[in-house]
Structure 1
Amino acid sequence: MTSLTATFTVDLTPAEILTGAADCFDLVKAWSGALEGTSRGVMLTAGDPASGSASYVATELFEGSLDGREGTLVLQQLGTMTDGDPTLQYVIAPGSGTGALAGVTGALMIGTIDDDGHHEVTIELT
């Protein structure tokens, strides 16, 4: 297993809400570090975060390089919060890689988020 680090900033833009969703957002992330490039995607939320119970799903297409290899990857997230206890699954969608990223699989773990909105991420490639 290979462990890499990267950071991203995210810009969320409200999108048309789907029936049953609390909110819908278009997202754009600027990546640096082991992931260099941009990802674009969609996030749907449900529940009531103020009460401590909510969830979101997001899918994004990353274009750029991973550890110097060029191509695209799809990143998928599933975040849940139950009684204020959060969990997050953030994975590279199997079979989604193109170019030099074909066949790449793994998971991402979000660490610290600084005051400027930079998210630190550890990428575990399998």
Structure 2
Amino acid sequence: MALNIPLTLALLLVGNSALAAEPPSVATPTPPAAMTSTTRTIQGSFDVQLTPVPATPGVERAPIEHLLLRKQFHGDLQASSLGDMLAFRSPVKGSAGYVAMERIEGRLEGRSGSFVVMHIGEMSGGSQQLTVRVVPDSGTGELTRLSGTMTLDVRDGKHRYEFHYQLPER
């Protein structure tokens, strides 16, 4: 993840004697034109494949599993994804947790590009909490400035998603 670190123009000018006599002119950025967006909700199914990542030879595996995550989304999100997942299952029945980062690439209601989602899931005493959120400013192509959250559900062995998102109008 790249950090958003503001740059200071003054640091670039230190020691430049030609500019010492007059203060530098600094252009004020123009804010982008107001863009409208509405929250949309889509639903569909997905296929998932989890592949354990082998431990490093000669290193004892921690009780945390590392899994390669691959998905194929169907419906208004026609896309494939690849990600990494770290999971832990407690010896206490019904307690577990996982985190994942997943890059999704394809078409969202006809708009092409990619974006990244982050997952955090927890099970405790049989209750579950799951958050899947679009990483800010991760959208590319026609999915630039995408934001949103996704819910995932598995019933009768079938995986389903519901995606609540915002994207500027074209």
Q: What secondary structure sits across from 1:100 in the alignment?
A: helix
What are the superposed Cα offsets for residues 3-61 of structure 1, whole Å, 9 maximum, x if unpaired? 11121110111003586452110011011111102100111002327611110011111
How many residues are treated as equivalent by the alignment? 124
How much has 1:66 moved relative to structure 2? 0.7
1:32–1:50 CA distance, 2 compared to 1 (3 A): farther
Pick one of 80, 83, 90 that aligns with 1:41.
83
Q: What are the equivalent positions in structure 2 for 1:85-104 lying under 5 Å apart? A: 85-104=127-146
Would the aligned equivalents of 1:17 and 1:23 in 2 still touch at CA under 8 Å?
A: no
Greater RCO, 1 or 2 (C-alpha within 8 Å, sep 6+):
1
TM-score, normalising length: structure 1: 0.89
CA distance in 1, matches of 2:49, 2:153: 18
- Match among 100, 104, 107 for residue 65 of structure 1: 107
Cα distance in structure 2, aligned partners of 1:42 and 1:119 = 18
d(CA) in 1 for partners of 2:135 and 2:51?
24
Distance 2:146 2:74 in 1: 18
Task: Report which of the two structures shows the higher radius of gyration computed on alpha carbons.
Answer: 2
Report the residue type matching 1:16 in the other structure.
P
Alignment-derived partner of residue 3 in structure 1: 41
Task: Give 1 or 2: higher strand fraction.
Answer: 1
* Residue identity in the other structure for 2:54: E
Residue type of the alignment partner of 1:8: F
Q: CA RMSD in A?
A: 1.8
Q: Matched residues in 2 for 1:49 and 1:88: separation?
A: 20
The partner residue of 1:107 within 146, 149, 170 is 149
Identity %: 33
With structure 2 as the length reference, what TM-score do the two structures score?
0.67
What is the aligned counterpart of 1:123 among 163, 166, 170? 163
Q: Work out whether 1:75 is the aligned partner of 2:113.
A: no
